[in-house]
Amino acid sequence: MASPPGTPQQLQLPHGPLSYTLVRSQRRSIGLEVSSAGLTVRAPLRASQVAIERVLHDKARWIADKLLHMHARQAAQTRIVWQPQTQLPYLGGTLHLQLHPAAPRGGEVLAIGPGQWALHLPCSAQAGSSEIRALTWAWWLRQARQLLTERLQHYAPLLGVQWRSLRLSNARTRWGSAHSDGRIMLNAKLLHYRLPVLDYVVAHELAHLHEMNHSPRFWAWVAQVCPEHRQLRAELRQQAAPQW
């Protein structure tokens, strides 16, 4: 979804190789887009490889500038430092990690204010960063499965589709995917975002059970349950999730 299904490609340019993802669809012109997923080239179904590469040569400087800018932004992006007081973006608010040797196995979350949660992790105050990270991730995955399952169950009847199974992923750039047989993959890190953003991804993947493409008909399904999908999609692109 956020990174659309496409074919990875590489082109030799005078200053080095350029990797990109080629997505063909029913459109009239060749379009370029640089995101955290890298360079995406959108091309008409019948555009020749030569025509595509000509555009890449012509726009090489623009692409290089954009990629540089994107990499600088990613380098500046937060990397989680795992320590007793770590805070994580969580459902549009903040999750505060707290080490409590007596906390229930698996951890326990408590609402401590609007958009504020404390996650009590069952470990000693001397726990090291890898233990804190592992306990948090185990809790996070359970939380993700529960919440994403609930959202799938909410949206599937609204869209008139049936999903079969949910697999959680931890990919860097891909937020979800859907298989025509009803298997859904969603990124556990969606829980870093506020609920409407997460819901947009859920609706997007379920809509693929109607249309396995990004055609106007596909977007009409998404819009039916998620009228603000454009803004939400932009939000997902603009705010990178922190690196674990």
Q: Which CB, 1 or 191, lies closer to Zn ion? A: 1
CB 14: neighbour CB atoms within 10 A?
6
Q: Which CB, 1 or 186, lies closer to Zn ion? A: 1
Contact in structure between 66 and 45 (CB atoms under 8 Å): no
23 scored as a contact of Zn ion (CB under 5 A): no
226 scored as a contact of Zn ion (CB under 5 A): no
Least distance from C-beta 4 to Zn ion, angstroms? 6
1 scored as a contact of Zn ion (CB under 5 A): yes
Contacts of 231 (CB under 8 A, 6+ apart): none
Contact in structure between 114 and 132 (CB atoms under 8 Å): no
The partner residues of 21 in beta bridges, in order of sequence, read 8, 40
Q: Which CB, 133 or 233, lies closer to Zn ion? A: 233
Here the contacts of 85-90 (C-beta below 8 Å, separation 24 or greater) are: 86/132, 86/136, 88/136, 88/192, 88/242, 89/192, 89/193, 89/241, 89/242, 90/117, 90/191, 90/192
186 scored as a contact of Zn ion (CB under 5 A): no
Short-list 207, 209, 200, CA closest to 228 = 200
222 scored as a contact of Zn ion (CB under 5 A): no
Greatest Cα pair distance, the chain, in angstroms, is: 65
Q: Which CB, 96 or 204, lies closer to Zn ion? A: 204
Least distance from C-beta 124 to Zn ion, angstroms? 44
| Size of the residue set binding Zn ion (CB under 5 A) | 1
Q: Which CB, 1 or 226, lies closer to Zn ion? A: 1
Least distance from C-beta 154 to Zn ion, angstroms? 19
Distance CA 236, CA 57 (A): 30
Q: Which two tokens stand for residue 27?
A: 């459109």
Least distance from C-beta 134 to Zn ion, angstroms? 32
37 scored as a contact of Zn ion (CB under 5 A): no
Stretch of 1-9, 41-49, 104-112, 127-135 lying at the interface with Zn ion (CB under 5 A): 1-9
Least distance from C-beta 83 to Zn ion, angstroms? 37
Least distance from C-beta 130 to Zn ion, angstroms? 35
Q: Which CB, 1 or 43, lies closer to Zn ion? A: 1
CA torsion through residues 193, 108, 78, 114, sign: positive
Give contact residues for Zn ion (rule: CB under 5 A): 1
